[in-house]
Amino acid sequence: MPPVQDLGLALWQCPYVSDVGEALARLDQAAAQARAQGADLLVCPEMSLTGYAIGARAVQVLAEPADGPLALAVGELARRHDLAIVYGYPERHPDGGHPFNAVQMIDGQGRRLTRYAKTHLFGDVDRTQFSPGPALAPVFAWRGWNLGLLICYDVEFPEAVRVLGLQGADLVLVPTANMRTFDNVPRLLVPARACENRFWVAYANASGHDTVFDYGGLSTVADPEGGIVAQAGRDAELLVVRLRADARRDARTQGQWPCRRPELYRPLAGPPDGR
């Protein structure tokens, strides 16, 4: 088995546009720029190709299956630039309910590797537009790295993040649509989640505003010690970092893992009052 290589990671912080064709054209440009800067993987914001707060009717109209036209279009971009891409889109519900708020990773050959539907819905916008995903996505291997997926509000639940850590994740990718009023998430919670689980967290946020929200930017990459490797400002930006394979190996041998006592944590699966 060949040695695990360093990973070039790009976070695309961008404002939303209402036209899917324009969103794909901008993704094409961002992918070209990311690849030129040495990225192997590009992570886009939550619902990056359609916009986030667009209303339940628009979400229903734009929703498609995981192998639909958007997946084909992103697959072609990924092949052209030899770049893996994680993007957000509304996914059609198999039973006809509200669509899922979904993300999908496509590799540099245009192959769909995995998809995930947001499990923790935030506020009225999420709840009126989407159905909650039924399960956390399993950790998956890519180029020797173990990757996990979450979406925005999910990362604020330590249990959801810990599940990925228990599966051996090295890096958790979090497409996001976080607002300026919640800067504590990229500044405090994302580094904390990385530190307590001894892995990297890549938090790719939107910027700008739409008719409902003012998005806060501050896309962040946090390392296994809770340090902020890189953090964007408020405006549109492409953040590119390189994650070292040897640091990945060292991270799993340190921290709290040997001292855990799972038998004490069973109440975490119950309601807050313990019933």
* Span 163-201, pLDDT tens digits: 999 999 999 999 999 999 999 999 999 999 999 999 999
**Are 178 and 185 spatial neighbours (Cβ–Cβ below 8 Å)?**
yes
**Are 88 and 23 spatial neighbours (Cβ–Cβ below 8 Å)?**
no
Annotation says 118 is catalytic: yes
CA–CA distance, 226 with 228 (Å, rounded to integer): 7
Q: Does the residue 198 lie in any domain?
A: yes
Sign of CA dihedral 107, 117, 144, 172: positive
Q: Does the residue 145 lie in any domain?
A: yes
The pTM of the full predicted model, rounded to 2 decimals, is: 0.95
Identify the pLDDT of residue 149: 98
Show the domain range for 237: 7-269
Identify the pLDDT of residue 269: 79
Q: Does the residue 206 lie in any domain?
A: yes
Q: Does the residue 164 lie in any domain?
A: yes
CA–CA distance, 244 with 4 (Å, rounded to integer): 9
> Tokens representing 130?
């989407």
Identify the pLDDT of residue 161: 97
Please identify which of the residues 14, 44, 46, 195 carries the catalytic annotation: 46
User: What's the domain count of the chain?
Assistant: 1
Tally of residues, the chain: 275
According to DSSP, residue 188 is labeled I
CATH number of domain containing 144: 3.60.110.10
Identify the pLDDT of residue 259: 83
Please identify which of the residues 44, 152, 156, 195 carries the catalytic annotation: 152
Annotation says 152 is catalytic: yes
* Residues of the chain below pLDDT 50: 274
Rg (CA), the chain: 18
Q: Does the residue 254 lie in any domain?
A: yes
Please identify which of the residues 91, 118, 156, 195 carries the catalytic annotation: 118
Q: Does the residue 210 lie in any domain?
A: yes
